[in-house]
Amino acid sequence: MKAIVVGSGAGGAAAAWALARTGVEVLVLEAGGAFRPFSRLAPWADPLRRSGLVGLRTIGALIPAMRVTRAERDLLLVRGVAAGGSTVLACGNWVRAERGLSEIGLDLSAEFEELETLLQPAPLPRERWRPTTERMFSAAEEMGLQPAPTPKVVDPALCRSCGLCELGCASGARWDARRFLSEARRLGAEIRLRAPVERVVVEGGRARGVLVAGSREPIRADAVLLAAGAIGTAEILRASGLPVADRLWVDIVLTLGGRLPRTRQLDEPPMVWYAARDGYILSPYLDLLSHFVHRPWRGVPLRDRVGVMVKLADEATGTVHADGRVEKKVTSVDRALLDEGIRLARGIMERAGVRGPFVEGALNGGHLGGTVPLRREDVPSMHPSTLPDGLWVADLSLVPSSQGLPTMATTAAIALRVARRVTGL
């Protein structure tokens, strides 16, 4: 059996690894290239930032793996397009995000346990937290928010506490999906970089392969697994004349920024604790995207900036077009929850001694799902009934509801389940 896996992030890499372990001939096609971490903030970057010369195009030039799409004037969508997908630009958080899964009868407990046994997620030692982060944790406890340390797939012995997790881990302390890719390659899988897939080849009502950009002849296989993220997967499906649901969700992030001289929040990994609310979480987070591209954040140096994130389980209302354009609005329900979270974030910071002016960061989303949502009747096969035989999806596109939580674990768990259905296990 030969399988093509499109995408190499948490979903694609986990699927490729699982398939290769059963002896399947695996070809991984990744649109991006090899990933290199952005290992430090150059001294010239801050003057450019304050002058307004650092923008979305500049960020793309500095970090080619980071693709930023403007869904509407005030909402930026961020994804990783490189070997390892978005995991190379992640915080290393490992949480079981399961919102809406029980409603469709999907229980991923076995896959979560397998992955956790392998990767051993654990909180960062408290002695590595910055003093302001400790005070904010205590403030959240005093407010009855029940904060908890965040499980991470980060090796504390290798972690340099540079705070640049989302720009790539230069020390190799943080797990990313390239480790699954390496293991899949060891087991015989082929990994092709800079091989963007244009469409799925469907013949006789069955997926027979894919067409890569610039090629005249398709690459054929017995099974095709799309794991290019909710935008990339939807783009390929639309270009193939196959249905896509207008239900994109993105886990909207809004960070409230305050100021405290020499707090140096960047000298620790982001999101070392979180407090779960109904529909969102709060977590200490220095939003580097806002620092560079959001005008209201200019004028405060990184050493003095303090941030608390609201990560929202947004309404699934977005649309992905065949050319990659995305329409995604912040609804009135989303805005009300964000405002509630921002009020709590300010309360946490003020109790911890953080001063104003308090400024909201850029609205952004980096967990993209919902465009090929599973229905209850699809769960036993893990194959959406809207797709032809031989074509599978192995990423968050299958998840019908936004999570408002880190989703790397959920993506990998879903991919493992899908891979096993492909092989009939």
Looking at the predicted structure, is the pLDDT value of residue 370 above 70? yes
Confidence of residue 60 (pLDDT cuts 50, 70, 90): low
Residue 234 has pLDDT above 60, yes or no: yes
Per-residue pLDDT, 192: 98
Percent of all residues in the chain with a pLDDT value above 90, rounded to a whole number: 83
Query: Is pLDDT at 371 greater than 50 in this prediction?
Result: yes
Helix (H) or strand (E) holding 299: none
Q: Minimal CA–CA distance to 199: which of 247, 233, 243?
A: 233
- Residue 53: pLDDT band (50, 70, 90) is very low
Q: Quote the pTM value.
A: 0.94
User: What percent of the chain stands above pLDDT 70?
Assistant: 94
Torsion of CA 314, 318, 320, 326, to 10 degrees: -90
pLDDT band at 248 (very low <50, low <70, confident <90, very high): very high
pLDDT > 90? residue 288: no
Domain range list for the chain: 61-78+123-168+248-365
| pLDDT tops 70 at residue 61 | no
What's the CATH class of domain 61-78+123-168+248-365?
alpha beta
Q: How confident is the model at residue 74 (pLDDT cuts 50, 70, 90)?
A: confident
**Using CA atoms, how far apart are residues 398 and 246, in angstroms rounded to an integer?**
13
Mean pLDDT of 187-210: 97
Residue 45 pLDDT exceeds 60: no
| pLDDT reported for residue 55 | 56
Question: Is the C-alpha dihedral spanning 138, 139, 145, 150 positive or negative?
Answer: negative
> What pLDDT does 387 receive?
97
**Amino acid 196: pLDDT:** 97
pLDDT of residue 43: 46
Q: Is 39's pLDDT higher than 80?
A: no
What are the residues whose beta carbons fall under 8 Å from the beta carbon of 100, sequence distance 6 or more?
399, 400, 401
CA 202 distance to own-chain centroid: 29
Q: Assess whether pLDDT exceeds 60 at residue 109.
A: yes
The mean of the pLDDT values for the chain is 93
Q: Is the pLDDT of residue 345 over 80?
A: yes
Give me 10's structure tokens: 């948490």
